[in-house]
Amino acid sequence: MKGNENTIKWQGVSLKDIAKEFGTPVYVYDADKILEKLSELKNAFSNHNLKIKYAVKALSNLSILKLLKNNGTGVDVVSIEEAQLALKAGFEPEEILFTPNCVSFDEIQQGVELGLTINIDNISILEQFGHKYHNTVPCCVRLNPHIMAGGNSKISTGHIGSKFGVSIYQLPHLMRVIETTNIDVIGLHMHTGSDILDAEVFLRGADILFGIAQEFPNLKFLDFGSGFKVSYKEGDIITNVYDLGVKLGKAFDDFCASYGKNLEIWFEPGKYLVSEAGYFLVNTNVVKATPATVFVGVDSGFNHLIRPMMYDAYHEIINISNLDGIKRIYTIVGHICETDTFGIDRKMSEVREGDILAIKNAGAYGFSMASNYNSRLRPAEVLVINGEAKLIRERETFEDLYRNQVEIDV
């Protein structure tokens, strides 16, 4: 990304020009940034048999999936529909890890029929899996280590109150089911949540995983999930993946030596790869002064970017139409008929009606969590790649809004 007094450019392409060409609101992604983050993770574990399984739920656009496929990743999917998208993007079934949660056994069977690697996170489904497939279909088991990660219960998935994974306290029950139904477990999986700052959390989880892994003689991989913290604002502490590579890499090597064979080490980055690569561009509809504050109302809302309202997530917001303007304090809100706030009391360059604002860190869980609330249309998506801005999803039309509705006589 480059900026001067007039504009911000990605690969030589002006964000203001993108907003002008494709309209607003619009999600814009930088392919170079995605590949830069991918290289960082690969380099951090360059001495290991690393498999990266991109978490499709973060950003599921086919062009993004193809970009990652072409650069050597697999994928982690959480629904059969995500699996079908991954197959359409060119991933082979064996490159796809299927990690659903609280789904019916029918959906698990669909995953088996597609040839996916199945990751099971509860004993009930595991027991049904064993009775159905016995030793004919291998699987992975997701464990809950009861580690609170990230400091926010809304994005932590490894604590004792989480719905995710088989509790480590249920290990005896788990082993009885596996032995009784003769299940071939080839992988163990652990994901403690998002915004993990340092290697120590991974090491705590790894110690638990290494101990349990000794009970499973046929393992091919251990999956440590992801949760690497990215930068949301200047001065943010982020996960040092190189430090993680050194510390976790050594612990992993020691485990493999005691286990008696070298396993693959898997990670499932989603936010880490695409968050910083995405900006959400919106137009200023109105600047509204009240006795309490000055609101900037834009042509979008939590129907397009729900993270600030759902997770109290911080997204830096800049005025790309007036980068060097005098600084003022604004609260940036959407046009949804609800409390609908992107940022409160933000100091930013003076905003005028018609200015384009860029909401940063919008690459992950932005469009993929968008909705048609208030009957608003979902935005377009653009990928900047090889110095060009290319449309990768058309903006919805009114016809899309009622396409599947069925009118009846009432």
Angle of helix 105-114 relative to helix 80-88, nearest 10 degrees, comes to 20
Among 139, 140, 256, 337, the one annotated catalytic: 337
In this structure, the number of other CB atoms found within 10 A of the CB of residue 345 comes to 10
> Catalytic site residue 337?
yes
Length of the chain: 410
- Residue that has been written with the tokens 């042509």 in this structure: 299
The residues annotated with a catalytic role in the active site are 337
